[in-house]
């Protein structure tokens, strides 16, 4: 069984990226699962707070979920043509302490996808993640790319994907990444 962790980079209850993640859960290939991780409850990173109180419980939970999976999917929004601060903050926290980077990220298969109300999907945010993923020592999957542009026309008000072509593209993306993750799992 190939275990993948999906993390939505949005805190918004009706987030298109959370809807994309939940749609993906139902489209995983046979022999694979997609667990939902959360960035909710992760405070702003503060080295003084880390030194005084250690790693917050929400961060520990996410780190252990990441360590226990064969691959990670980052469902990223795009804010001001880049990575959302709340999502970057969560990933920064998961790299603490620095001695844990190898255990959490080292060689971990990772892919980035995202949904946006705008016309370009999340291309700039996805590109911005690449230097972060390289720095953390992950193994990014470059064979697939999925950007859901004009997401309000792809999902209904309940967050259900209504676009059959996008559903097929998402299923193909998930199959490709799952194969990559299974082949490169530690």
Q: What is the pLDDT along the chain (186 residues), one digit of tens a residue?
A: 999 999 999 999 999 999 999 999 999 999 999 999 999 999 999 999 999 999 999 999 999 999 999 999 999 999 999 999 999 999 999 999 999 999 999 999 999 999 999 998 999 999 999 999 999 999 999 998 999 999 999 999 999 999 999 999 999 999 999 999 999 976
Local structure of residue 79 (DSSP, 8 states): B
Q: What is the pLDDT of residue 186?
A: 66
For the record, the structure tokens of 11 come out as 């805190």
The span from the CA of 147 to the CA of 79, in Å, is 14
For residue 87, the Cα-to-chain-centroid distance in whole angstroms is 9
Q: State the residue range of the domain holding 86.
A: 2-184
Q: Is 61 exposed, middle or buried (0-12, 13-18, 19+ CB in 10 A)?
A: middle
- DSSP class of residue 80 equals T
Indicate the number of domains in the chain: 1
Return the pLDDT at 144.
85
CA-CA distance, 149 to 117, in Å (whole number)?
6
Burial classification of residue 76, based on how many CB atoms lie within 10 Å of its CB (0-12 exposed, 13-18 middle, 19 or more buried):
buried
We report the CATH number of the domain holding residue 94 as 3.40.50.360
């Amino acid at each position: 069984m190939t275990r993948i962790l999906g993390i939505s980079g949005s805190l918004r209850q009706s987030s298109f990226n959370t809807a994309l993640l939940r749609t993906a859960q139902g489209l995983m290939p046979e022999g694979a699962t997609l667990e939902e991780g959360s960035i909710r409850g992760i405070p702003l990173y503060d080295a003084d707070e880390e030194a005084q109180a250690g790693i917050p419980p929400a961060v520990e939970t996410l780190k252990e979920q990441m360590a226990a999976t064969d691959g990670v999917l980052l469902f990223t929004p795009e804010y001001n043509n880049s990575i959302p601060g709340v999502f970057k903050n969560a990933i920064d926290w998961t790299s603490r302490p620095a001695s844990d980077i190898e255990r959490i990220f080292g060689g971990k298969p990772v892919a980035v996808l995202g949904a946006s109300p705008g016309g370009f999907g999340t291309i700039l945010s996805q590109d911005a993640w690449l230097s972060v993923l390289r720095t953390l020592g992950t193994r990014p999957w470059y064979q697939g790319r999925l950007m859901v542009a004009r997401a309000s026309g792809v999902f209904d008000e309940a967050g259900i994907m209504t676009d059959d072509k996008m559903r097929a593209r998402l299923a193909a993306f998930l199959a490709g990444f799952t194969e990559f993750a299974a082949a490169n799992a530690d």
